[in-house]
Amino acid sequence: MVKQYEIYWVKLDPTVGSEIQKTRPCVVITPNEMNNSIDTIIIAPLTTKSHNFPTRLRTTVEKKDCWIVLDQIRAIDKSRLNEKIGELDRKDVLKLKNIINEMLVE
């Protein structure tokens, strides 16, 4: 079962324009209730090359510094998921929630 805040390798291609592309780590954003019920999930891709934008969260995955790109959140079919490679720690989960709240709620 796919769980919220887990990190998977995800095949993002095909993409259009400035969308983040190729196979890369992504964080599952959707709540577990949705992950159990539907065949799509909402993810945020990670990249190692970024700037310190307010919509991006610096973290470490597989001993590499990277950024969670919350301005590129998207829904994908679960069939795009590959290997699970980790999950966010509590500190990063709280930061991620705050950024999403500022972006989409307030």
Total domain count for the chain? 1
pLDDT in tens, 50-98: 778 899 999 999 899 999 999 999 999 999 999 999 999 999 999 999 9
| Per-residue buried b or exposed e for 3-20, using 16+ beta carbons within 10 Å of the residue's own CB | ebbbbbebebeeeeeeeb
Is the per-residue pLDDT at 104 higher than 80? yes
pLDDT in tens, 10-46: 999 998 998 888 999 999 999 999 999 999 999 999 9
Per the domain annotation, does 45 fall within a domain?
A: yes
Range of the domain at 88: 6-104
Per the domain annotation, does 100 fall within a domain?
A: yes
- d(C-alpha 96, C-alpha 100), whole Å: 6
Q: Whole-model pTM?
A: 0.92
Per the domain annotation, does 82 fall within a domain?
A: yes
- State residue 40's pLDDT score: 97
